[in-house]
Chains A and B, each alone.
Chain A
């Protein structure tokens, strides 16, 4: 029998072996990197549970904070340093009221033309950021987006299809309430070439109304600082 075929076939099977083992290894690596899609539902469930928990804890925080305030005011009424500290902290622990504006922002209602990018018709985190920035420029003293008070640690960030403020998801329609001089703030927003004109160009619906009384709720997140500490009172320079 002719044995000429043995060597080439042996070489081929060696090649098959190397390729197979390498492919197995690589596929196993990919499987490790990619989250299996069926686990997405579990993750959503876990996320919802954690968010609910977070909301409950946030309520508890505001209750405890209110109690603490009661107790402190009983014990040491009107302590000057406390007042100063609270003012420096934007009064973030208390609900604030005052005259101001309410800005309602909704996604575009215009039907998209063919080939138009649907991204331009929705409200993005930078739109909200620019509005907040404009309000601050116009002298807003306290700002809240939906229920999230804007404090120094507040972020407005994009997380997939939702927007996060203070690490909490907020959903359209977005309502920004700001305490400050209503006329100045409205004028700043409606400035020619300003933010409202820009948003309306893309079909975003913006409704601004002046209010004689606007409620800005207390900041519900943690105020603990891990790194920042008050500097020594007197610094030689």
Chain B
């Protein structure tokens, strides 16, 4: 339970930092940030899942995050240049993965608390 508190707490602190610092994102960059948010969500949930499955690997975690983010940013950039909303591809893939990870986490939690 403690780890979940830690994660939720970090999320809240991050939200506060973001809300009270004068950071702002130019309109042209908002697509990239949206993709980055999804990449980070996907990575975070993937990390929780692998941690619960006891097969967390820091190098996989970090390399996955950087590679996914870079690929998504690259797709978005290419889409901008071609006039196609290619970033939607990244968003769909991240969305699907987020759901998959959530489903796995849900099952793991269920099996932990209601062991059959």
Q: Is the CB of B10 within 8 A of A13?
A: yes
Q: Min CB distance, A16 to chain B, in Å?
A: 5
Q: Which residue of A lies closest to B44 (CB)?
A: A12
Q: Min CB distance, B48 to chain A, in Å?
A: 6
**Stretch in B15-23, B73-81, B82-90 with 4+ CB within 8 Å of A:** B15-23
Interface assignment of A23: CB less than 8 Å from any CB of chain B: yes
Q: Is the interface of A mostly helix, strand, loop or mixed?
A: helix
Q: Is the CB of A19 within 8 A of B37?
A: yes
Q: Is the CB of A12 within 8 A of B30?
A: no
Contacts of B41 in A (CB 8 A): 16
Contacts of A18 in B (CB 8 A): 14-15, 17-18, 23
Partner of B11, one of A8, A13, A25: A13
Q: How far is the CA of A6 from the CA of B36 in the complex (A)?
A: 21
Residues A115-172 near B (CB distance < 8 A): none
Residues B57-71 near A (CB distance < 8 A): 58, 61-62, 65
**Stretch in A26-34, A38-46, A51-59 with 4+ CB within 8 Å of B:** A26-34
Q: Is the CB of B37 within 8 A of A20?
A: yes
Interface assignment of A87: CB less than 8 Å from any CB of chain B: no
Interface assignment of A5: CB less than 8 Å from any CB of chain B: yes
Interface assignment of A11: CB less than 8 Å from any CB of chain B: yes
Contacts of A16 in B (CB 8 A): 11, 14, 37, 40-41, 44
Q: Is the CB of A25 within 8 A of B10?
A: no
Q: Which residue of A lies closest to B22 (CB)?
A: A25
What 1/0 mask marks residues of chain B from 16 to 56 whose CB sits below 8 Å from any chain A CB?
11110001111100100110110011011001101100101
Contacts of A24 in B (CB 8 A): 18-19
Q: Min CB distance, B37 to chain A, in Å?
A: 5
Q: How far is the CA of A177 from the CA of B38 in the complex (A)?
A: 65
Interface assignment of A10: CB less than 8 Å from any CB of chain B: yes
Known contacts A5-B48, A8-B62, A23-B37; A17/B7 CB under 8 A: no
Q: Which residue of A lies closest to B36 (CB)?
A: A19
Q: How far is the CA of A9 from the CA of B42 in the complex (A)?
A: 11
Partner of B24, one of A4, A13, A26: A26
Partner of A22, one of B24, B48, B51: B24
Which of A5, A20, A27 lies at the interface centre, i.e. has the most chain B CB atoms within 10 A of its CB? A5
Q: Which residue of B lies closest to A2 (CB)?
A: B54
Contacts of A1 in B (CB 8 A): 54
Q: Which residue of A lies closest to B23 (CB)?
A: A22
Interface assignment of A21: CB less than 8 Å from any CB of chain B: yes
Known contacts A26-B25, A29-B24; A14/B47 CB under 8 A: no
The 10 closest A-B pairs by CB, nearest first: A17-B14, A21-B18, A5-B51, A5-B56, A12-B44, A9-B47, A26-B25, A18-B18, A14-B14, A17-B15
Known: A5-B50, A18-B14, A27-B30. 20 other contacts (CB 8 A): A1-B54, A4-B58, A5-B47, A5-B48, A5-B61, A9-B7, A10-B7, A12-B47, A12-B65, A13-B7, A13-B11, A14-B10, A16-B11, A20-B18, A22-B23, A22-B24, A23-B25, A23-B33, A25-B24, A29-B24
What is the interface of chain A, defined by CB distance below 8 A to chain B? 1-6, 8-27, 29-30
